[in-house]
Structure 1
Amino acid sequence: MPQPPRAIWLRDQGPPRKPRLSRERIVTAAVELLDAEGAEGFSMRRLAARLNAGTMSLYAYVKTKEDVLDLALDAVMAEIELDTPDDRSDTAEDAAEDSSWRTFLVRQLSQSREVMRRHPWIPALTSTRPLLGPNALARSERFYTAVNRAGLDGPQLVAAVGTLSYYVNGFVASENVWRSWMNDPEGELELRREAQAHIDQQVGRYPTLSSQAQLEFSDFDAAFTHGLKIILDGIETQLNVTRPPRTISEGP
């Protein structure tokens, strides 16, 4: 079975080429094309047309289509701020050590959701390639540091970070699909009412769904916040059975 090509971040890029287009222009155009057509509509031919260039000319700057997707994905990762106005420290370690570690994580994950809503193709790409670009790694470092300083390490740390990432990716992927299909608020409300009425008519068969499902509830922001709180509550319970939070002087 042929092996997949190594990610661009793991290959020698060779000497810089004399600019004609530029990798930056290619990446900017790639993000625009992905925003317009999604990952399924992306091709090097369409990208070249957007740049008014020949398809083969792109390969002077990148080896494969996958390289372009990796670079575009890392470019939009920069939209998640590394530092925010209410950070009270000058370093990543100090900010992560702040007692409001949950606030930090909620802020980061909420920004991630906003970026994924602006660029709906992100969840599909993050599940198919390693996030090894400099922007992605810088944000992962901050995130891992926050959870580690709160008191988790090893498999628990990896599981906690993974759970939070999977939650946000899955939530936004579903949200984006729903919003692209149902963009009429009144129509959505009517559909939800009809669905709730359908279940209520069969309360004997679906008693819990009838009383608890709340199908008329359509506030994605509140649903995201509630779900994230449940996960963070679960993570916080683990802090009480592992070890006390570290101080900066104790190191990683």
Structure 2
Amino acid sequence: MARPRKPLLSRERIVSTALALADEEGPQAVSTRRLAAELGVSGPSLYNHFRTKDEILDAVADTVVSQVDLSMFDGDRDWREALTAWARSYRAALAAHPNIVPFLAQGPGRRPAGLRMADAVFGGMVDAGWPPAHATRIGALMRYFVTGSALGSFARGFVDDATAYDPADYPHLGQAHLLAERQHSVDEGAFDTGLRALVDGLAVQFAALAGTEDRPLA
């Protein structure tokens, strides 16, 4: 019998299948037994590509991060514009795969795409004139903000039932039952409001560093 022209199994196929499972059912659905069944292979064959389930999830998380645009840090774009554009791209990538966000939020570890992103953000801030310690804090701050915003929907947490918000108990929630149907505008508006507040606040700090010993020459 002739050998198949394409291998039955590859890292890319394993990762894409694991990501689909995580998107549909959560990371807990990603087991070697389940993946083998979905891929139509024997369980041990997965170990030719990954040693553990956590390695598979690491690769899944890194695949999501690899979708984030980092090109804004390549040129002489104003750091505020670059940080804003990157944060929006970062959130879009995470929001498309919310189930993997808790695992991804643990940090880049040894994940190549995650490390490239950390390097690009840190380098972009230092090149703009931020002291290295401040650049590190900015990267951490933005990761907290973006991953938190991608974990879930504030608006979807309210039920579409006006009787749930008795004015005797909740005098200021008379319109709360409308939030669920306005989920996109509420959540996107909240993200944009927070992002502007963060970047504007950082700009104030950046200006305050001018002329101090903590700030290197830009």
TM-score bucket (shorter structure): 0.7 to 0.9
Name the counterpart of 2:52: 64
Name the counterpart of 1:53: 41
**For 1:240, what is the secondary structure of its paired residue?**
helix
Is 1:236–2:203 an aligned residue pair? yes
Q: Which has the higher contact order (CA 8 A, sep 6+)?
A: 1
Does the CA contact (< 8 Å) of 1:74 and 1:131 recur in 2? Answer: no
> Aligned letter for 1:224?
F
Quote the Cα distance in structure 2 between the aligned partners of 1:241 and 1:81. Answer: 30
Name the counterpart of 1:145: 123
Name the counterpart of 1:135: 113
1:51 Cα deviation after fit? 0.5
Is 1:39–2:16 an aligned residue pair? no
Quote the Cα distance in structure 2 between the aligned partners of 1:42 and 1:72. Answer: 10
1:27 is aligned, of 1, 10, 15, to 15
Summarize the Cα distance change of 1:141–1:47 in structure 2 as closer, same or farther, 3 Å threshold.
same
Aligned pairs (5 A) from 1:65-104: 65-83=53-71, 92-94=73-75, 97-99=76-78, 101-104=79-82
> Structure 1 stretches of 5 or more lacking a match?
1-18, 201-209
- Equivalent pairs counted in the alignment come to 202
* Deviations, residues 74-95 of structure 1 (Å, cap 9, x unaligned): 1121211233xxx6xxxx442x
Q: CA RMSD in A?
A: 3.0
* Deviations, residues 115-150 of structure 1 (Å, cap 9, x unaligned): 112111232112335343222222222222222233
* Deviations, residues 196-225 of structure 1 (Å, cap 9, x unaligned): 83422xxxxxxxxx49xx856651111100
Name the counterpart of 2:138: 160
**For 1:164, what is the secondary structure of its paired residue?**
helix
In the superposition, the TM-score normalised over structure 2's length comes to 0.79
1:155 Cα deviation after fit? 2.3
Same amino acid, percent of matched pairs: 27
Does the CA contact (< 8 Å) of 1:150 and 1:239 recur in 2? Answer: no
> Structure 2 stretches of 5 or more lacking a match?
1-6
